[in-house]
Structure 1
Amino acid sequence: MREQILIVDDEEMIRELLASALFQEGYICHLAANVDEAFSILGQKDIDLVISDIMMPGRSGVELLRDLKKVDSEIAVLMITGLSDMNTAMECIHLGADDYISKPFNITRVILTVRNMLDKRNLSIEKKNYQIGLEFKVLEQTEQLRQTMHDLHLAYDNTLTALVKALDAREKEVGSHSERVMNYSKLMGSMLGISGIELEQLAKGALLHDIGKIGISDNILLKPGKLDEDEWREMRRHPLIGYAILSEIDFLKTPAEIILSHHERFDGSGYPKGLKGEQIPLGSRIFVLVDTLDAMTSDRPYRQALPFDAVISEVRKFSGSQFDPAIAELFLSVPRSRWEECAGKKFD
């Protein structure tokens, strides 16, 4: 595409001379006798380069330059100055002019200057377009990566949820015990100021708390009667088994710690390590409360679901022994309706 040049000079002879020489070089030239005419043409044509005299009646070339750069910072500008206007010419350079030539000028030098200025402008535009294209491509690829990570994260979550549902079904759980305690844990965690990835880790720990039961035989796990001492010893291995399964997976290391200690008690009488007080991870201290809530408000093969008031009594009774008293106090402050909302069911 032929480049378009606007020549602004109050002297017709200079306008015609420049236009004739530049036309011979293949450029399309537009002529203006003053700044107002120049802006009228600029509003109608896609001008690539402006050649402007500095000293003109009315508004000067300096004013043209200043206003022009506000409208189009990329347009190339060549100023024409008399020998006595060198200070003004340097001012023009500071205002954004690309170059200047002095009268009387050599037309060959003007043509070379114009060619160099347009080459420089085209290179600058190409570089800018390349940069914009590159930034767009980076944004596009970042979005694709974000979507891929989201899909992968969703696939992980769906896989874990399916696995947990299978384990719940194995124990003949009504509904999804693991999903309910996950929802309860997220509620408690939020109330304790846990958020973001830490809340996600808490939720995963609660969801996967019984993953270790995959290593417990059906004869023990599904036994309808009481377990003997050897069977209890085997059953109490499930936190260790769950930890062994998940602790080698990078994004499940923190949930694995919750799983390992979800049967610890605040007074140190729990298992498998007999941890006490704040030695027990916060996620596990939250979990033991919400696990009690779900266990007591859900039907069991040997009994019907207990009323919500029984849970309140249990938490009060064992606060400071089984339960962290500070978390127990927060638990007791949560309205029944919020627990029911998390459970997706009404309590007795």
Structure 2
Amino acid sequence: MSNGCEVIYDILVKGKTRVLKKNSLNDVKQHIESEIKSIAIVPINLRQDRACTVAIGKKTAGSFTDKEIQLLELLSSRAAFALENAILFNRLEQSYLDTIESLVKAIEAKDKYTRGHSEQVATLAQEIALVMGLDKDRAERIYTAGLLHDVGKIGISSGVLCKPSTLSPEEYDEIKLHPIKGYEILRPIRSFNDLAEIVLQHHERFDGSGYPRGMHGHDIFFEARVLAVADAYQAMISSRPYRKGLPIEQAILEIRKGAGGQFDPEIAKIFIGMLKQEQKSSRSSKPKNIPSDSTVRS
């Protein structure tokens, strides 16, 4: 009896289709459907030393005809072409994503006050999504959108982006272009179409007073509504050249005040609950009966 792995290796090396009886594949026959009598194994050679096989089972006792083998080999060659394209497409997408992430780092390198902002927003947004019951894949998508939400700021002048004082109306108008610029950066990737739309919408407001489209309520992507809360909160608690970051309690009050206006009220409520629970856990985990730093002497 033959070892299945050895047979497959021999087929790949010789590059020729073989038809085998199921019983001849001693070590793998238990994994093959019981009604299968014979198997045609077609080699597929890919570029860059990659190779695989396609195995087709036949329930009748007779072997495969020459015409059937020719058809299987034709289909396998088309499968090889599709696999090559898929591998190339995935590489291009990963390369483009790596480039975009580098752009995000370049943006944050311009201004020490916003360094790490995108990653913190992404983490908060993902946590909100998981608490609200979204599946892991969709929560991961929100995390990716969070990483990329400010990528459009690469197209905003440094003088405006890093200004240490309040922006003029004209400068604020320039800042408001960054969702559109981010959308234009992400849009060329077909599988990123939803990410591009989330980035475009993350400054829309629930009451319709946001930008760039003035979208309203549930017309705004759910992911963008989650990002809006996470982004606003992280910005509020972070210090900037022109102001100090808010205490968490005050930031919570601002989120509560913005519920139904700037923010989706349900998402705001859940997020506030998360923060309150986190504060409660933090307080309960502090050691008791230990003097404060002001009373400890070395």
TM-score by length of 2: 0.61
Structure 1: which 4+ aligned runs deviate by more than 6 Å? 132-136, 141-153
Change in Cα spacing, 1:174 to 1:330, as seen in structure 2 (3 Å) is same
Q: Give the equivalent residue in structure 1 for 2:180.
A: 240
1:221 and 2:166 are equivalent in the alignment: no
C-alpha spacing 1:193/1:222, structure 2 compared with 1 (3 Å): same
CA distance in 1, matches of 2:155, 2:23: 71
Distance apart, 1:171 and its partner CA: 2.9
1:315 pairs, out of 250, 255, 265, with 255
C-alpha distance in 1 between matches for 2:277 and 2:95 = 32
Distance 1:170 1:198, change over 3 A: same
Closer, same or farther: CA 197–151 of 1 in aligned 2, 3 Å: farther
Look up the match of 2:273: 333
- The whole-number CA distance in structure 2 between the counterparts of 1:304 and 1:225 is 12
**Does 2:267 correspond to 1:291?**
no
User: What letter is aligned with 1:327?
Assistant: I
Equivalent position of 1:301 in the other structure: 241
Deviations 1:120-143 (A, max 9, x none): xxxx99x65x6398896359x999
- Name 1:274's counterpart in structure 2: 214
Pairwise CA RMSD = 3.6
Displacement of 1:194: 2.4
The letter of the residue matching 1:193 is G
- Offset at residue 303 of structure 1 (A): 2.9
The one-letter code sitting in structure 1 at the alignment partner of 2:142 is L
1:230 maps to 2:133? no
Question: SS of the counterpart of 2:113?
Answer: coil
Q: Secondary structure at the match of 1:137?
A: strand
Q: Aligned pair in 2 of structure 1 residues 136, 223: CA closer, same or farther (>3 Å)? A: closer
SS at match of 1:310: helix
**What do the CA deviations read for 1:256-278 (whole angstroms, capped 9, x no partner)?**
11111111111111111111111
SS in 1 for 2:149: coil
Pair 337,173 (structure 1): closer, same or farther in 2 beyond 3 Å: farther
Q: Which amino acid aligns with 1:185?
A: A
Check 1:159–1:133 CA distance in 2 against 1; reply closer, same or farther (3 A cut). Answer: same
Residue aligning to 1:190? 130
Report the counterpart of residue 53 of structure 2 in structure 1. 137
Larger radius of gyration: 1
Distance in 1 (CA, whole Å) between partners of 2:214 and 2:83 is: 47
Please give the alpha-carbon distance, in whole angstroms, between the structure 2 residues aligned to 1:212 and 1:174.
Answer: 14
Q: 1:316 to 1:151 in 2, by over 3 A?
A: same
- Shift in Å, 1:157: 4.7
Distance 1:273 1:174 in 2: 25
Counterpart Cα distance in 2 of 1:305 and 1:147: 46
Aligned residues: 217
Counterpart amino acid of residue 239 in structure 1: P
Partner of 1:164: 104
CA drift at 1:153: 6.5
Q: Which runs of 5+ in 1 are unaligned?
A: 1-71, 75-123, 342-348
Give the Cα separation in 2 of the matches to 1:202 and 1:313.
25
> Where in structure 2 are the equivalents of 1:14-29 lying within 5 Å?
none
Residue identity in the other structure for 1:333: G
CA distance in 2, matches of 1:330, 1:282: 14
1:294-336 Cα shifts (integer Å, max 9, x gaps): 1122221123332211121111111111111111111112145
Q: CA deviation digits over 1:226-277, x for unaligned, max 9?
A: 2222222222111112112222221221111111111111111111111111
Q: CA deviation at 1:204?
A: 2.3
The DSSP-based 3-state class of the residue aligned with 1:334 is helix
List gaps (5 residues or longer) in structure 2: 1-21, 25-35, 45-50, 56-79, 282-298
Residue pair 1:292, 1:311 contacting (<8 A) in 2 also: no
Distance in 2 between the 1:182 and 1:143 partners? 32
Task: Give the whole-Å Cα distance in 2 for the aligned partners of 1:73 and 1:209.
Answer: 57
Residues of 2 paired with 1:167 and 1:328: CA distance? 28
> Structure 1 residue 257 and structure 2 residue 197: aligned?
yes
> Identity of paired residues, percent?
37
The equivalent of 1:100 in structure 2 is: none
Which is worse superposed, 145-154 or 174-183?
Answer: 145-154
Q: TM-score, normalised by structure 1?
A: 0.53
